Amino acid sequence: MTRRVLILAHTGREESMLAALEACVELHANNIVPVMYAEELVDMTGYLGVSSVKMEVLDQDVTLADIELVMVLGGDGTILRAAEIVRDYDVPLLGVNLGHVGFLAESEREELIQTVAAVVERKYSVEERMCLDVMVRVAGKVVAHTWALNEVAVEKGNRERMIEVVTEVDGRPLTSYGCDGVVMATPTGSTAYAFSAGGPVVWPGVEALLMVPISAHALFAKPLVVSPTSTLAVEVLTRNGAYGVIWCDGRRTVDLLPGARIEVSRSNKPVKLARTQQSTFSERLVRKFELPVQGWRGPSVEVTEPPTTQLPIIKTPRPKYPLEGRPHSDMPPLPDLRIPPQESSYSGTTAFYGEDPA
């Protein structure tokens, strides 16, 4: 059976087109048919010259159902674009980073040949990444229904005015505030916009949904991590007349009138990412963010598991006297602190400052 790999590249950049041509040459040399979109193939061959590599055109020669793998050459934006293309098909994405951080990419530009070799030898695994289902309602009617891999960002539409929102979790209101926006993200998107807004980094293996306020003017406006079965909602309030806008993965947008309601839950359609490396997510964090780890010695290796260490137990102090009943006989009697009636400080008169009571 003929193996086919779809090459997606940012053909507006020379580096991306050079990488795409190199990947096509390597795949062809190993009896794998490279496939490209017609527009991107024209851009690449028009800029770099006609190639002797035999390539097929998607939607003309083959369909996505014939593709084994999609190799994406670019940054996270290019990978998010590729996710839109393959989400309805059982085709995994393999990213080669040509951008800056490239958290969704599996390898870097200098590792392109090794990445192609792993594809040729089928030395890659596939993991599913949670997506978000996004519903926009106005006056109870659905006006937009879309999805997101990274995040849904509800943002203010007026630069000079905050957007007033009320947040909700599982059908119950949580709090309202003025803000620049609210990000609702997946664990995959926790290192993207939600991270910039001050949200936590969530390991991809953790199933959860995030809600992160953006510059909220409120005492309680903290990032939330909730169950993957929860439903998050944000309602745009009408009290200041400001309108908003939502961005799904920074690519799909919907305008929000005051009174609009955005409901976000887990989608039943994940996106599949291919992995050629067995590194942990911790290693990826260190590599992508260039985190300092000098001085780390690592866990010690024990031949046998040591027994549980017997540590001293601190006992809860007992009260000096019983909490119920009368004190011990050796306790001195308590003085009577009641004021005798005849010595009361209240004179029983309404006269003040030496006035005659008569």
Is the Cβ–Cβ distance between 257 and 236 less than 8 Å? yes
Separation in Å, CA 164 to CA 154, 156, 181, 283: 11, 9, 9, 39
Task: Say how far residue 72 (Cα) sits from the centre of its chain.
Answer: 21
79-87 contacts: CB < 8 A, separation 24 or more? 79/104, 79/105, 80/104, 80/149, 80/150, 80/249, 80/250, 80/251, 81/8, 81/251, 82/8, 83/149, 83/249, 83/271, 84/251, 85/8, 86/271, 86/272, 87/131, 87/147, 87/269, 87/271
DSSP states along 236-299: E-SSS---EEEEETTTEEEEE-TT-EEEEEE-S--EEEEE-----HHHHHHHHHT---TT---P
Could you tell me if 245 and 256 are in contact, meaning their C-beta atoms sit under 8 angstroms apart?
A: yes
By annotation, the residues acting in catalysis are: 76
Structure tokens given for 294: 């000098």
**Cβ-based neighbour number of residue 22 at 10 Å:** 15
CB 131 within 8 A of CB 186: yes
**C-alpha–C-alpha distance, residues 285 and 280, integer Å:** 9
Within 10 Å of residue 284's Cβ, how many Cβ atoms? 16
Residue found by looking up tokens 């035999």 in the block: 54
